[in-house]
Structure 1
Amino acid sequence: MKRVPTNVARPENRFVGRASELSTLDEALVESRLVTLIGPPGVGKTRLAKEIAAARAQDLAPRFPAGVWFCDLSTARTEGDTAATVTSAIDAWDPARAGRALLVLDNVETVIDDAARTISGWLSASPALHLLVTSRERLRLEGERLVELAPLEVPRVDEGGKSTDAIELFLDRARGVAPSTALEGAQRRAVDELVRALDGLPLAIELAAARARVLAPTQILEELSRSTALLRASRAVVPRGQRTLDETLAGSWSMLTPAEQRALAACSVFAGSFDVRAAEAVLEIDLDAAGDPASGSVLDLLQALRDRSLLSAVEEPSGERRLVMLASVKAFVAPRLEEEARRRAQRAHADHYLSLIGASPENDARSGRARIALERANLLAARAHALAEGRPRDALRIAIALAVLSSSMSYGWSRELIDEALSRVDRTDGDSLVGWALEARGSLLRFLGQAQQSLAELERARAIAEQSGDSALLARALIGLGNGAANLARWRTAHEALERAITLLGSRADRFFEGRVRTMVAAAYFNEDRLDEAAAHLQAALALQRQEQDRSFEAMSMTSTGVVALSRGAHTDATVALEEALSAHRELGDRHWEAVTIGYKGSLALDRGELDRAKSLLEEAARILGELGVRRAEAIVLGHLGHTATLRGSYDEALTHYRAALAWHRLASPDYEGLVLGAIGALSALRGDIASAEASFGAAEQALAAYSRPSFVVALELGRALVDVASAERAFAARDMEAAAAHEARARGALAAR
């Protein structure tokens, strides 16, 4: 078999991943004679092109029998340079006689306009010739097929331990210089964080991995967090024949116009992705200051930077297209932004995101957690800039807006954001913004299990609302006070506060928050074991939430609907509602209520006697709630885990769970304290420790005496029945028939009541 003429040799190190990209590129070469592989510096265009070229050169049934050729144009600057480079790579190059060949032209961006004319001529001269071009921008020729190469997939924060191409590349290159490199425990977590910080950019990952000869992954990550010098590696750690990341970026920078350079540098103030409107807010300030009539519009500049692969595009589930700057590009261009220009850009950036959330926190929930989540990184950057510039009120406003993300991030995280800004604000009587901060802080403290501190902050918020005449703040403070009272089993106080909030919201025609409060009222009724009233309020809440398109609370109401069904023993209805709710919580990114719903699925499994499934679900719920700091919900789940362990015969494990739950319930939900003490008593009875059981039941009765929780009282009586059964057996063994009969009668009575 005749071999295909070629000058292509695969590099010595292993090609990692890119299976779908190889397939896409191969199909493109079948469908088009001119394929341009575009992407940002360091994304791996050259390596992918060499891999596909080497594969085609080794085809058993050659698709390109006239040859597969690779030519590097990185040093070419003119049309003549392009022709000379190809001629030097391919003896007696004549495009008219090229035949069915594949010509790979690498780094065409260095001579883009001249190369386009040359390539157009070659394609016209040779109808069988195919060209694969790598470039940071397109050629803009008729018939050109674009294939855009993105960075490698990296594991998401919630996908710890997942193997992706980025992880595999790091491991392969690290073991090339340090064969003993292992990815376990902290080192594996460090690599996950490292490849995320490097945006999955192959060249950056390879440069980082090359440091494994002297540094462990945790140390590499620490070095990167302190400085981007790791991305500016010397030739000592770069494979022979490969350019450093600095060199590739410097080449791209040099090809930009002054206006494009200023725009790219100004975009470095963004954190994460940003939309065109945000870019206009930042860049128009810079354009006005520069006074360059040749700059063009902001949209023109963004298009130019996107065409040169220095800005990437990401598409949100909504279909919205946003721009993002890779970390390596940002590290290169940020120092090139002059100090005065940086101050202008940062101020414009902060002002834009402040305008996005609005002056009053009243509408934060309505604007949607999805929008605030999308802009989280930029809002955090704007907050940091506001603090640095001595504008704590702006920072506080942003922190309050970010609090809607607490159920996805963590409640402690949100409280710290508010506390830092609030500590710098000069407080005056009737300051509405401070009132909103106290309301948010009070709600956060409730979830964190600090019940009394929560109520104190909410009372301060209510006082400010009444003093300032802010009815929206007053309604929100009443809602917080109602929820706090319900957690402490102060049912009358809870209902009074929540009903007053509903009246106030009705006077404001605020059906959005009325729907939310209906869900909270239902929760209070549920906690009193008034299931019919709870179900009725949930139906009213769902109607309002669907009308107002409040998907977040609609999902919460569905979870509560499932819990009511579970309490009634309607397992099928409970399953349907909980599954629907769980899907919605995950779609919305609400980890708090995702975990709560998973916990109740565990309770459902427990009711059905599926102990292994119950244990798995409850452990997952407890883990997430612990990470978020939702202490009351975590304690409830720990109690269910204790019950599961008891039924499994793992008494020590059960006691550990019960004690952990008890510690939080004593702080945040005293009615549950009695329930858990009763469970500990039942556990003691099962172990034959009747004295300890009696002591626990006595403490449980005392804890429950002040609260109306019929189901908890029944649970306590059933626990006592275990003691009576054990005591009856002992009395019978001692031939004390009267005592045995009394214990047996009390046990039968408890079971009959159940």
Structure 2
Amino acid sequence: GHTPRPTLDTLKQGDAVRLFAERARAVLPAFAVTEDNREVIARIVRRLDGLPLGIELAAVRLRALSAQQLLDRLDDRFRLLNAGSRAELPRHQTLRALIDWSYALCSDEERLLWERASTFAGGLDLEAAETICSGRGIDRHDVVDLVIGLVDKSVLIREDHPCGVRYRMLDTLRAYGRERLAASGHEDWLRERHARYYRDLAARARTDLFGPQQMRWLTRLHVEHANLRTALEESFNGPDGTRTGLTMATDLLYHWTTSYYLAEGRRWLERGLTATDVPDDVRACALWAGGWLAIIQADKPAATTMLHDSRRAGEQLRDQHVLGYVALFSGMIAMWEGRTADAITLYEQALAKHRACGDPAGTALSLIRLSLACSYTGDTASAVTAGEECLALCESHRESWHRAYAMMALGVEVWRQGDLRRATDLEQQALVVNRSLGDSLGIGITLEALAWIAASQCRHQRSARLLGILQTVWASVGAPLSGYGHLAGYHDACEEETRKALGEAAFGTAVRRGARMPLDEALAYVLQEEPPTGRGEGAERLTRLTRRESEIARLVARGLTNKEIAASLVISQRTAEGHIEHILTKLGFSSRSQIAVWVGERTRADDKTTPGE
């Protein structure tokens, strides 16, 4: 029988029509679904099979076409594909035809940029686009306009990140671009340009490591991780691949140590080290770098072997830089083995070599380890002297990461002296830096110290919960007290005292409670960050969110994915992602879990319940 014609309101509530109207208004603000155009719009979205990407690409055409003209051209394109057959086109052919049309509407230079941008993994910024994609038909000065053109056509998606504006491409469009790139004959040329750019990026980051730009560089490397991985693979496979790839992997050492990529970094280094045994400077540095990663992973045999080989190469090359790092990391192994006096001697040797070479990073690392070792032996004066010298060095260079570890080391000694308030302050300052970088190792060791301090303050519920949080952190690193095994006695004493004070049942409950906490929530608890109240910061943050953003924040807190949020609110996934980026920016957060914690705290505050410890 006859199907009743849907009302205009009903039509406008349909997912596909709502998405089409939303995207159309982005290019034509006055656009609306009306009684006059409703049939045409309904036919357009049916013709596109309701595919979100197809709707995105088609709606952009309204900048130049009427809705009827758009429908006519869609019909023409699809009629060519099925040669007049009355059968409907398969969904993948519908999408392919639309992407072909988008490609055809691009200028020659925009097509080239589309193809070349497809070689990036995980997105790109304007500097990378200008450097890698220019040449052979694209003038560098034209790249910014071409990027704007591809954003207008929804080929590139603009996103705001802490390190600046970036652009990404949907997987379907990237695959299309790569197919066109392969056919162009420029693929090898572009892959080498991509690899060279990211090798240079890694080298620049390593050069600027100890200074005011350090945090920005480490954040940028984290954002660029997928591109760095692609560049490493290309570098190892290229001419002189072992040396080139090994140099890049070593330049990324602090990227590996301050992130979740310890195992990956070690694999890249070992790939190059097993491919050649030429004892040159590149191999010598890669060996001590690999030794450090092995120590963090508690792989003492591998670390010992790599440091032995690095020392031998350093001696042959008479390279004091290499020998300084070998002494430093050999000192860490000595501490691990309980040879504290030997460790202090090695740290002092490392310190002398790094000072002579003018290497502030090596100097800072040596001072941090020397401070911890002297503290362990009870030599308070030497521990404080080394720690404070390191802090002064870091502050003179406006450096953050080594400074955080120096504060951690000083905090341990101050705790041993009984100044629990200052020790807490030092450790919490260090934790703030480590949290901002996502440095699991730094987070772990500062949480350890804070647990010991809490036990010394007789705050045993807190120390037990911290011990539970630490179970999660050390599991993510892969080894407890990674690289700081000599401090295990402090951990064991803290656990024993806390267990005795609380009793077995209460201790177990508190530990499990800590272990179940999401990391962001756990760190907020550790830093004693007050949950927002209705009249304080929380209210100010709330007023900065729009009604739709507040709605999406609540859905994030319920654990919904971007796709599920988009379906729930009948918006595109891209729009949902954009809202979440805006929420993160407005609230000053860096992860969805922080949004969830914030929403939960606001809800509890609104219910006027008293938060637990």
TM-score past 0.5 threshold: yes
Q: Is 1:316 matched up with 2:167?
A: no
Tell me how far apart the structure 2 counterparts of residues 628 and 415 of structure 1 sit (CA, whole Å): 14
Tell me how far apart the structure 2 counterparts of residues 13 and 421 of structure 1 sit (CA, whole Å): 55
Structure 1 pair 71/560, CA: closer, same or farther in 2 (3 Å)?
Answer: farther
- 2:291–2:329 contact (8 Å) kept in structure 1: yes
* Alignment match, 1:268: 118
Tell me how far apart the structure 2 counterparts of residues 75 and 651 of structure 1 sit (CA, whole Å): 66
Q: Is 1:352 matched up with 2:352?
A: no
Superposition pairs of residues 555-574 of structure 1, within 5 angstroms: 555-574=404-423
Tell me how far apart the structure 2 counterparts of residues 14 and 563 of structure 1 sit (CA, whole Å): 58
Tell me how far apart the structure 2 counterparts of residues 581 and 456 of structure 1 sit (CA, whole Å): 32
Q: Is 1:407 matched up with 2:258?
A: yes
Deviation (angstroms), 1:554: 0.9
Secondary structure of 2:159's counterpart equals strand
* Alignment match, 1:7: 8
What one-letter code is carried by the residue in structure 1 that aligns with 2:348?
A: E
* Alignment match, 2:26: 37
- 2:210–2:361 contact (8 Å) kept in structure 1: no
Deviation (angstroms), 1:622: 2.5
Tell me how far apart the structure 1 counterparts of residues 205 and 151 of structure 2 sit (CA, whole Å): 36
Structure 1 pair 412/106, CA: closer, same or farther in 2 (3 Å)?
Answer: closer
What one-letter code is carried by the residue in structure 2 that aligns with 1:330?
A: R
- Look at both structures and tell me which one has the larger radius of gyration over its CA atoms: 1
State which drifts further: 563-572 or 379-388: 563-572
Q: Is 1:325 matched up with 2:174?
A: no
Q: Is 1:417 matched up with 2:268?
A: yes
Superposition pairs of residues 224-239 of structure 1, within 5 angstroms: none
Q: CA RMSD in A?
A: 4.1
* Alignment match, 2:461: 612
Deviation (angstroms), 1:646: 4.6
Unmatched 5+ residue regions in structure 2? 1-5, 45-55, 71-87, 512-613
* Alignment match, 1:431: 280
What one-letter code is carried by the residue in structure 1 that aligns with 2:145?
A: D
Q: Deviations over 1:327-383 (max 9, x none)?
A: 332133222212532111111101111122339977666664334323322111011
Q: Deviations over 1:56-86 (max 9, x none)?
A: x9xxxxxxxxx8975756999xxxxxxxxxx
* Alignment match, 2:354: 505
Normalization by structure 2: what TM-score? 0.66
Secondary structure of 2:158's counterpart equals strand
The partner residue of 2:219 within 358, 370, 378 is 370
What one-letter code is carried by the residue in structure 2 that aligns with 1:112?
A: R
Q: Deviations over 1:553-582 (max 9, x none)?
A: 111122223222322232221222222221
Deviation (angstroms), 1:435: 0.6
The partner residue of 1:521 within 370, 373, 378 is 370
Q: Is 1:581 matched up with 2:430?
A: yes
What one-letter code is carried by the residue in structure 2 that aligns with 1:420?
A: R
- 1:435–1:461 contact (8 Å) kept in structure 2: yes
Higher relative contact order (CA 8 A, sep 6+): 2
Superposition pairs of residues 79-228 of structure 1, within 5 angstroms: 107-113=58-64
Structure 1 pair 386/511, CA: closer, same or farther in 2 (3 Å)?
Answer: closer
Deviation (angstroms), 1:540: 1.2
- 2:27–2:63 contact (8 Å) kept in structure 1: no
Secondary structure of 1:489's counterpart equals coil
Tell me how far apart the structure 1 counterparts of residues 424 and 36 of structure 2 sit (CA, whole Å): 60
Q: Is 1:463 matched up with 2:317?
A: no
How many residue pairs get aligned? The number is: 462
- 2:110–2:149 contact (8 Å) kept in structure 1: yes
What one-letter code is carried by the residue in structure 1 that aligns with 2:64?
A: D
What one-letter code is carried by the residue in structure 2 that aligns with 1:590?
A: D
- 1:512–1:544 contact (8 Å) kept in structure 2: no
Structure in which a larger fraction of residues adopt helix: 2
What one-letter code is carried by the residue in structure 1 that aligns with 2:128?
A: A
Q: Is 1:644 matched up with 2:498?
A: yes
What one-letter code is carried by the residue in structure 2 that aligns with 1:338?
A: A
* Alignment match, 1:300: 145
Tell me how far apart the structure 2 counterparts of residues 38 and 328 of structure 1 sit (CA, whole Å): 22
- 2:335–2:343 contact (8 Å) kept in structure 1: yes
Tell me how far apart the structure 1 counterparts of residues 116 and 467 of structure 2 sit (CA, whole Å): 48
- 1:286–1:345 contact (8 Å) kept in structure 2: no
* Alignment match, 1:388: 237
Q: Percent identity?
A: 20
Structure 1 pair 473/274, CA: closer, same or farther in 2 (3 Å)?
Answer: farther
What one-letter code is carried by the residue in structure 1 that aligns with 2:325?
A: R
Structure 1 pair 263/237, CA: closer, same or farther in 2 (3 Å)?
Answer: closer
Secondary structure of 2:503's counterpart equals coil
* Alignment match, 2:104: 254
Structure 1 pair 107/406, CA: closer, same or farther in 2 (3 Å)?
Answer: same
Secondary structure of 1:309's counterpart equals coil
Tell me how far apart the structure 1 counterparts of residues 329 and 246 of structure 2 sit (CA, whole Å): 20
* Alignment match, 2:552: none
- 1:447–1:631 contact (8 Å) kept in structure 2: no
Deviation (angstroms), 1:525: 0.9
Q: Deviations over 1:75-133 (max 9, x none)?
A: 99xxxxxxxxxxxxxxxxxxxxxxxxxxxx995532533559x9xxxxxxxxxxxxxx9
Deviation (angstroms), 1:484: 2.3
- 1:478–1:497 contact (8 Å) kept in structure 2: yes
- 1:411–1:630 contact (8 Å) kept in structure 2: no
What one-letter code is carried by the residue in structure 1 that aligns with 2:201?
A: L
Tell me how far apart the structure 2 counterparts of residues 563 and 337 of structure 1 sit (CA, whole Å): 56
* Alignment match, 1:159: none
Deviation (angstroms), 1:527: 2.0
Tell me how far apart the structure 2 counterparts of residues 431 and 361 of structure 1 sit (CA, whole Å): 19
- 1:361–1:400 contact (8 Å) kept in structure 2: no
- 2:124–2:168 contact (8 Å) kept in structure 1: yes
Superposition pairs of residues 524-563 of structure 1, within 5 angstroms: 524-563=373-412
Deviation (angstroms), 1:267: 0.9
Unmatched 5+ residue regions in structure 1? 26-33, 40-44, 58-66, 77-104, 119-132, 134-233, 658-754
Q: Is 1:283 matched up with 2:137?
A: no
What one-letter code is carried by the residue in structure 1 that aligns with 2:387?
A: L
Structure 1 pair 418/646, CA: closer, same or farther in 2 (3 Å)?
Answer: farther
Runs of 4+ displaced beyond 6 Å: 11-15, 73-76, 234-238, 359-363, 651-654
- 1:448–1:629 contact (8 Å) kept in structure 2: yes
Deviation (angstroms), 1:432: 0.7
Secondary structure of 2:433's counterpart equals helix
